[in-house]
Amino acid sequence: MIRSRAALAAATAVLRLALLLAFVAAVAFALMKLSPVDPIDAYLGPAIARASPEQRAQIASSWGLDQPAPVQFGRWAARILQGDLGWSTSYAAPVGAVLAERGLPSLRLTAPAWILSGAVGFAIGLLAGAFEGSWLDRTLRLGAYLTASAPSFWVAILLLSFFSVTLRWTPLCCAGPIGVEPDAVTLLQRLYHLVLPLLALSLVGIPQVALHTRAKVAEIMRSDFVLLARAQGATTGDILLRHVARNAALPAVAILFASLSEILGGAILAEAVFNYPGLGRATLEAALTGDVPLLLAITLLATLVVTIGNQAGDVLSRRLDPRTRTQRPALLGHGA
């Protein structure tokens, strides 16, 4: 009986995910069709003046753009169900190949930035909350508020101007030295080119985690059991490690997984500023050239990652705090 309920709940969750993906795809497709960008003009580029109406019509027919919008969306959806992501007009390659080529650089950037934002934000929140009202608390909070309110692309430009242009400590762009084939780039060269984009993207998630953690830690530090621990001679470090850290981890984990969408959104701007060859830059190029198949594929991938990430955060939060457990299974069918 329990297994049947779990299977039914898992099937329901998968159905909801499928409906969400369909809705997101339909909205993204509609927005692209309302965009003033003409994919044929973007494809022709400087050769647009020499293209005849017959040539334009031939391109439109080969891409299926001569059909009504609902027919275009239906054909795209049918190909998706068959495992065919379509053809990228901006890269002149299958969408699946573009995702594979650009996905790995994006993963090298977004995964460490996400982890770093959680670790650094949690540490800052612990320190600020443990010394509530002190100069350290005020300084850390001010830094978090300023960073959270600053646009990510502006922060990236400032970092690029200071460290790359003024100090010349970091490279100006790209995921490797200019003129070197990607396969020939060494690990140290990749890390060297990754430092500044990683720092810029990490600053997107650190303030949220830090501020929420600080509020929880300050509340815990005023609790009775902390006062009792102090009366028994426990130091602030012991209290933070033994009593506060795990209790404060719950909101930090929730915010960290909820910030996945912000990290992915920030990656688009960070990759554009640093000319980093990932999915974020591919998203901008697809939007500017009207590459509907590629943009829809990236949108669905981002939706899937954020949805599964939020569900994973929900499961992990219930493991950290049994009081939050319910009988509702998560998306992938894991019970509480």
Q: Give tens-digit pLDDT for 87-102.
A: 888 888 999 999 998 9
Position 324 scores a pLDDT of: 56
User: How far is CA 196 from each of CA 156, 182, 208, rounded to the nearest angstrom?
Assistant: 8, 19, 20
Position 331 scores a pLDDT of: 43
The 3-class SS string of 30-97 reads HHHHHCCCCHHHHHHHHHHHHCCHHHHHHHHHHHCCCCCHHHHHHHHHHHHHCCCCCEECCCCEEHHH
Domain spans, the chain: 2-93, 102-290+306-324
pLDDT tens-place string over residues 225-236: 888 888 888 888
What average pLDDT does the chain have? 85
Q: What is the DSSP letter of 318?
A: H
Task: Name the band, by pLDDT with cuts 50, 70 and 90, for residue 321.
Answer: low
Paired tokens of 80: 């998706």
Q: Which of 2-11, 65-74, 258-267, 295-304 has the lowest mean pLDDT?
A: 2-11
280 Cβ contact list (under 8 Å, min separation 6) = 106, 264, 267, 268, 269, 270, 271, 272
Residue 8 has pLDDT above 80, yes or no: no
pLDDT tens-place string over residues 291-304: 899 999 999 999 99
**Cα–Cα distance for residue pair 29/300, rounded to 1 Å:** 11
> Nearest-5° angle of CA 277, CA 75, CA 264?
30
Position 325 scores a pLDDT of: 53
257 Cβ contact list (under 8 Å, min separation 6) = 309, 310, 312, 313, 314, 316
Q: What is the DSSP letter of 183?
A: G
pLDDT tens-place string over residues 234-289: 888 888 888 888 888 888 888 888 888 888 888 888 888 888 888 888 998 888 88
* 210, amino acid identity: A
**Cα–Cα distance for residue pair 321/213, rounded to 1 Å:** 15
Position 1 scores a pLDDT of: 60
Task: Name the band, by pLDDT with cuts 50, 70 and 90, for residue 34.
Answer: confident
- HSE on the CB side for 121, CA within 13 Å? 34
- For the domain spanning 102-290+306-324, the CATH number is 1.10.3720.10
Q: What b/e string do you get for 244-277 counting C-beta neighbours within 10 Å, with b at 16 or more?
A: bbebbbbbbbbbbbbbbbbbbbbbbbbbbbbebb
Report helix, strand or coil for 247: helix
Residue appearing with tokens 């010394």: 131
> Nearest-5° angle of CA 233, CA 235, CA 240?
130
Q: Angle at which helices 95-130 and 187-221 pack, to 10 degrees?
A: 40
